[in-house]
Amino acid sequence: EYGDDKFEQVTPSVSLLAEFPVAIVDTVADEHGTRDLAKTYLDFLYTPQGQDIAARNGLRARDAAVAAKYKAEFPDVRLLTVEDVFGGWAKIQAEHFAAGGLLDQTYGSR
């Protein structure tokens, strides 16, 4: 019913570069004694092997060699940055999500 042949993947020619942050949560790492393991994991994410795993699971690799390997799965896209389009995260926060911002204005009267 929901097989791969039931969906069409559409890739836009232009998209916004969305880099998902990863971090070590200090209190958790210290409480569980896992700081070294967490650091090793975070470092691994940016290695060619880590990027390869990400690409196999549908995430666009930033490593040039890995991206070239998966070029057929990820058509060329012109990536714009938050800074270029919106002026940065601080500006987005102030204009859209702060009290009285666009989000409040949009949903405030509901």
Compute the C-alpha angle 100/101/102, nearest 5°. Answer: 125
Residues 6+ apart with CB under 8 A from 38: 24, 29
Domain count, the chain: 2
Strand runs (DSSP E) across the chain, as ranges? 14-16, 78-80
In a domain, 103, yes or no: yes
Which pTM was predicted?
0.68
* Shared-domain flag, residues 41 and 94: no
* Shared-domain flag, residues 63 and 85: no
* Shared-domain flag, residues 58 and 34: yes
Max CA pair span of the chain:
50
* Shared-domain flag, residues 53 and 90: no
* Shared-domain flag, residues 54 and 70: yes
Taking the C-alpha atoms of residue 83 and residue 80, their distance in angstroms, rounded to an integer, is 8
* Shared-domain flag, residues 86 and 52: no
Range of the domain at 94: 81-109
- Over the stretch 43-79, which tens digit does the pLDDT of each residue have? 999 999 999 999 999 899 999 999 999 999 999 999 9
